[in-house]
Each structure stands twice: as C-alpha cells, then as structure tokens.
Amino acid sequence: MSVVSVSMPDELVERIDTFAEEHGYTGRSEVFREAARNLLGEFDDRRLEDRELLGVVTVLFDYQSTDVEQRMMALRHEHDDLVASNVHNHVGDRYCMELFILEGTLEEISAFVGRVRATQDTLSIDYSVMPVDRIGPVA
C-alpha cells in the first residue's frame, strides 16, 4: 500500500481524528480511504451516462474574508453553456450562498462540481443530479 502525504489545516485534522474516534475507525487513514472511494464513486453511476441531466449546486462562503464570490462568477461565465441559472443570496451578516442550476451531461456537471470543490475558502458545497426525463409527474 502506498503512503500519501496531505497538507491541511490543523483544525481539519482534529475534526477528522475526532470523527474517526467517534465512529469507530482505526485511524485517519481509514477515514481518508473511505472518503476517497465515496468521492470517486459519486459520478460513477452508469444509469446517468449518455442522458441529459439537471444539476443543482449550492455553495456557502464567507464574503468578508475571501474572494470566492469573484471566483464563482468566473466559473459561471466559463461554463455559460452549462449554467442555466445562477442565484446569489446573502445569509446572515457575513455569508453568501451561490446556487447554480446546470443542464448538461454527467461529465460536464462532474467537471463543474470539481472546479467548485477546488475553490479555496468555501465553507460548504452540496449538489444533486437527476435525469431531465424524470422531471414531472410520474404516470
């Protein structure tokens, strides 16, 4: 098995160690292996391949201490053909939420989510994907 070195803030390491202990993991390596498998498997759904999809991506960030808002707008413009809609909301005194509605393929949506996840200083990123042909009443 290979050994991999990862840099991260001390606070995150402490949270991972606490999580591992509270959930019965043998250590942080086991947590990282499971997290990596889950992340890599998220878009590995054969039922979604070759279908037109609707994706919803929600991003929360602290606008007072970062330039995440500008980076989100840059992503929005870089992926203009994928982003059907974009909403910006203020949350509390110092937070913002970006909501992206995407229409595209699994590969396109996956790439967009990856770019959002790679953006430093985001606090939370959530998304969902569903086939467009499943939207509406079920007969």
pLDDT digits (tens, 9 = 90+) for 48-58: 777 889 999 99
Nearest Cα neighbor of 62 from 16, 94, 25, 109 is 94
- Write down the pLDDT at residue 66: 76
Residue 75 pLDDT level (bands cut at 50, 70, 90) = very high
Share in percent of the chain as helix, strand, coil (round to 5): 40, 30, 30
Residue 19 pLDDT level (bands cut at 50, 70, 90) = confident
- Write down the pLDDT at residue 23: 85
Stretch among 6-10, 18-22, 86-90, 134-138 having the lowest mean pLDDT: 134-138
Is it the case that residue 135 has pLDDT exceeding 50? Answer: yes
- Write down the pLDDT at residue 9: 87
Q: Where are the alpha helices (DSSP H) in 23-132?
A: 28-41, 68-78, 106-117
Percentage of the residues of the chain whose pLDDT score is greater than 70: 91
